[in-house]
């Protein structure tokens, strides 16, 4: 490893930490909702202020995707894909976290809940 390598690695570490800090700091306090996308279409919105456990199903590219919400957290419970990466990921609850199910073209994101009377569609 030479000096240039050291400088490069240092800059890259700083850049990735700055990126993380930016995502952490851009999170807003207040009520949240989980938004489920199929490609760029919103297919489901879940109010995350509710405490009780609820199960939803949406149509993915490879079949049905089961999504569970509980205590302000949301996870993909089951889905049909080769590696099951998105159901292994578990619960997410912050706006800088996302669950991506590439084979099913499903993305679960957390967003601020602006409308107080938002109901799960």
List residues binding other proteins (CB under 8 A).
Answer: 1-2, 4-5, 8-9, 12-13, 15-17, 19-20, 23, 37, 39-40, 82-83, 85-86, 88-89, 96-98, 100, 102-103, 105, 107, 109
Separation CA 30–CA 109 (nearest Å): 16
Check: CB of residue 9 under 8 Å from CB of residue 85.
no
Tell me whether residue 9 or residue 64 sits nearer to other proteins (CB atom): 9
- Least CB distance to other proteins at residue 117 (A): 25
Which two three-digit tokens encode residue 52?
Answer: 């009780």
Which two three-digit tokens encode residue 62?
Answer: 């490879």
Tell me whether residue 50 or residue 111 sits nearer to other proteins (CB atom): 111
Tell me whether residue 68 or residue 97 sits nearer to other proteins (CB atom): 97
Q: Name the E strands within 1-121.
A: 32-38, 41-47, 54-60, 63-70, 73-78, 98-101, 106-112
- Least CB distance to other proteins at residue 40 (A): 5
């Amino acid at each position: 490893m030479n000096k240039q390598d050291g400088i490069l690695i240092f800059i890259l570490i700083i850049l990735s930490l700055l990126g993380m800090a930016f995502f952490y700091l851009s999170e807003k306090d207040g009520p949240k909702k989980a938004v489920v996308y199929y490609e760029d279409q919103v297919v489901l919105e879940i109010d995350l202020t509710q405490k009780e456990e609820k199960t939803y199903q949406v149509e993915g590219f490879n079949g049905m995707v089961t999504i569970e919400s509980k205590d302000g957290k949301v996870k993909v419970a089951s889905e049909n894909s080769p590696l099951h990466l998105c159901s292994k990921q578990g619960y997410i609850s912050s706006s800088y976290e996302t669950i991506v199910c590439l084979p099913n073209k499903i993305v679960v994101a957390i967003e601020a809940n602006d409308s107080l009377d938002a109901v799960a569609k």
